[in-house]
Amino acid sequence: MTTSLDYLKQTGTVVVSDSGDFESIDVYKPQDATTNPSLILAAANKPGYARLIDAAIAYGKSKSSDPDVQVNAAMDRLLVEFGKEILAIIPGRVSTEVDARLSFDKEATKAKAKELIALYESVGVKKERVLIKIASTWEGIQAARELERDDGIHCNLTLLFGFGQAVACAEAGVTLISPFVGRILDWYKKSTGKTYEGDEDPGVSSVKKIFNYYKQHGYKTIVMGASFRNVGEIKALAGVDFLTIAPTLLEELKKSTDQVPKKLDATAAAKATDLPKVSYVDNEPEFRWTLLQDSMAFDKLHEGIKKFAEDGETLKNVLKAKLAA
């Protein structure tokens, strides 16, 4: 039986699992997987993952007698433990997120990315199989630019809501971007009181514009739609490079046999001429002004950073309690 998930894969879209709960991943046969502090926190509370926390605690204790050093080391090791387990299941790459509190510090972001890659390599995972997730701030994009260019570290620029962010990421030569479809929809529903479906969905429209712009201007950066609220959004983006999808929506697609026609076509987009080229990567004032002018993108970027930072702190507190036990 051919499922909607099969049909989606047949459009050329690479399916990625958006979950830290790796025991639920294998059934959908994704190529890649994405994690973030919120997803790791949700998974870490499950008894089946206690051994990963134990390994992280042991690592933290081996690094220092200072509690703050211990918890930071344990946190990094926990992210890598989850990533390593996920990579044993999937053939492709895992995305691991840098601490969201570093989102406005280029040098600290670069240092943390290198630490995470070194940790992965210490447990036998090559850097080619890891994407370092960084928020799409000015500082984050510049950090990713230098990591890609100087260190060969692949980056996934996340919390991307605005066109200017997407343009700067492509110019920076980052491997992949994660425009957040559902969170864009949330903002518009709240601000207008309207409901949107399919192609009318502002999150879907945003990703389509980015995809078409990248293909028209020959950028190699992968467009990976993320943060979906329903399968309608997913189907409306069939044909986009990658889609990262939560297990609940993957299950819905797997249980359905509805056709999923291709909606986005890279070849056709490359021949278009309707989106003039713009530039932001070397113009910080213009980048910041463009982001500020887009209330949705500005609000959701900062809200997202705060939420990831809060969940990261909650996870650190779980580890802190275990370190002190």
- Which positions are annotated as active-site residues? 133
Rounded to whole angstroms, how far apart are CA atoms 96 and 32?
A: 12
| CA–CA distance, 115 with 98 (Å, rounded to integer) | 10
Name the one residue in this structure whose structure tokens are 């046999």. Answer: 257
What residues have CB less than 8 Å from 193, skipping those under 6 apart? Answer: none
Q: How many CB atoms lie within 10 A of CB 252?
A: 16
**Torsion sign over Cα 116, 121, 125, 126:** positive
d(CA 261, CA 268): 16
Which residues, 6 or more positions from 299, have their beta carbon under 8 angstroms from its beta carbon? 187
- Measure the CA–CA gap between 237 and 87, rounded to whole angstroms: 26
| Contacts of 81 by beta carbon, 8 Å cutoff, 6+ apart | 52, 55, 56, 123
Rounded distance between C-alpha atoms, residue 301 and residue 161, angstroms? 7
* Cβ-proximal residues to 251 (8 Å cutoff; 6+ apart), any chain: 28
CA-nearest of 86, 5, 11, 38 to 227 is 38
SS3 state of residue 95: strand
Work out whether strand 94-97 and strand 155-160 pair parallel, antiparallel, or are unpaired.
unpaired
Quickly list DSSP for 153-181.
--EEEEEE-SHHHHHHHHHHT-SEEEEBH
